[in-house]
Structure 1
Amino acid sequence: MDADARSEKERLRARLLDARAALSEERRDRAGSALRDAAAEVPELATAGTVAVYYSVDAEPDTRKLVTMLWKRGVYVLLPVFRSDRSLDWAAYEGPDSVAPARFGLLEPTGPRYGREAVARASVVLAPALAVDHAGYRLGRGAGCYDRALSLVGPNALKLGVIYDTEFLESVPAEDHDRPVDGVLTPEGGLRRL
């Protein structure tokens, strides 16, 4: 990817992060409730044995209510652990007391680590994104950890980017290593398959 495309990614990231920072806590809370309710209507989540999902921080779309809902339904929930090599390890969510502050302001599970390949057991993966386009390409924070994780997911798993409705864009810059998702989950629009 050339320098112009990298610059475009950085400008887009900055714009999207600024827009998220401007959201009120009340709006983020409502979005979290709406995401939980939308997730409850996704057939694959209703029947999932294992779901890999991130535990939101800061102005990310709030997945904490969604994680709790899945866990209370008896779904085996895997949360990521950010490794020093920028890959993701995975551990089980076992309730609100099973996460603790970690590097980079993240909240991560405190239980045993199951390795990078654990994500391959998930029938649904809910991935963070700053934006997703109509072809399924997601713009992340730039570390590439979710692209590497998505490359390990089975072909029958449902892969969704979790974003605010305004972050579903016509296109985002993509590189050869970028892995598309199958759809998006948004607070107002719910599930949109691509």
Structure 2
Amino acid sequence: MTDGIADAKRALRAELRERRQQRSDAARTAAAEGVKAQLDALVASVGARSISCFLSAPTEPGTHEFVADAVRRGIRVLLPVTRADGLLDWVVADPDGDITEGLFGMPEPVGEVLSPLAVNDVDLLIVPAAAVDGTGMRLGWGRGYFDKTLGSMEHCPPVYAVVFDSELVDEVPRDLHDQPVTGVVTPTRTVVLAPHRR
């Protein structure tokens, strides 16, 4: 990664992080309700029976209620667990399961840990992001976990990043290892941005 790209990513992440921290609790609650409605509709339109998602941090668009409700409806949901080697293990979501703090302070599930290969069987990937641009390029938070995961999948299903409405932007700085997403889910809409890879 060139210094210019790295600096641009750092600056944009800092701006987005600050904006997220300034949202009120009421705005976050409303966003979580909107995201759940959009994700429910997306899962139904894809006909997904097995998905991956993530447990949102307090400043992210909320996913906890969506995950719990999807499991109650019989959908198999895999949740990521960070590893020190930069890969993701997976745990099958359980609405009554415990949540702990992962390597970087993010909420992660407690349960039987499955290998990074477990995600190869899902029908839909729902991933976190700081921002996504109109071509489907995703800006993550800089640790590369989801870029590695997406880049290693032989048959990648549709991938949707969850962001706030203002985080669908014209352009994000990109590097060679950065992986595109199929679309974005915001509290008010679901937008297809790029054809998903097979």
Task: Report what 1:107 is aligned to.
Answer: 107
Shift of the 95–149 alpha-carbon distance from structure 1 to 2, 3 Å rule, reads same
Shift of the 44–121 alpha-carbon distance from structure 1 to 2, 3 Å rule, reads farther
Task: Supply the distance in 1 between the matched residues of 2:2 and 2:152 (Cα, whole angstroms).
Answer: 27
Task: Report what 2:12 is aligned to.
Answer: 12
Task: Supply the distance in 2 between the matched residues of 1:156 and 1:116 (Cα, whole angstroms).
Answer: 14
2:56 aligned with 1:56: yes
Task: Report what 1:143 is aligned to.
Answer: 143
Contact between 2:93 and 2:109, CA under 8 Å: does it hold in 1?
Answer: yes
- Where in structure 2 are there 5+ consecutive unaligned residues? 194-198
Contact between 1:44 and 1:124, CA under 8 Å: does it hold in 2?
Answer: no
Shift of the 126–149 alpha-carbon distance from structure 1 to 2, 3 Å rule, reads same
TM-score by length of 1: 0.94
Contact between 1:127 and 1:160, CA under 8 Å: does it hold in 2?
Answer: yes
Shift of the 153–98 alpha-carbon distance from structure 1 to 2, 3 Å rule, reads farther
Q: Does 11-20 or 33-42 show the bigger shift? A: 33-42
Contact between 1:45 and 1:124, CA under 8 Å: does it hold in 2?
Answer: no
CA RMSD between the two structures: 1.5
Task: Report what 2:192 is aligned to.
Answer: 193
User: How many residue pairs end up in the alignment?
Assistant: 193
Contact between 1:133 and 1:169, CA under 8 Å: does it hold in 2?
Answer: yes
Query: What is the identity, as a one-letter code, of the residue corresponding to 2:120?
Result: A
Residue 156 (structure 1) shift: 5.4
Within a 5 Å distance, the mapping from 1:44-83 to structure 2 comes to 47-83=47-83
2:130 aligned with 1:130: yes
Task: Supply the distance in 2 between the matched residues of 1:172 and 1:105 (Cα, whole angstroms).
Answer: 25
Shift of the 97–174 alpha-carbon distance from structure 1 to 2, 3 Å rule, reads same
Contact between 1:40 and 1:46, CA under 8 Å: does it hold in 2?
Answer: no
Residue 47 (structure 1) shift: 2.2
Task: Report what 1:167 is aligned to.
Answer: 167
Shift of the 24–154 alpha-carbon distance from structure 1 to 2, 3 Å rule, reads farther
Shift of the 37–146 alpha-carbon distance from structure 1 to 2, 3 Å rule, reads same
Task: Supply the distance in 2 between the matched residues of 1:111 and 1:126 (Cα, whole angstroms).
Answer: 20
Identity of counterpart residues, as a percentage? 32
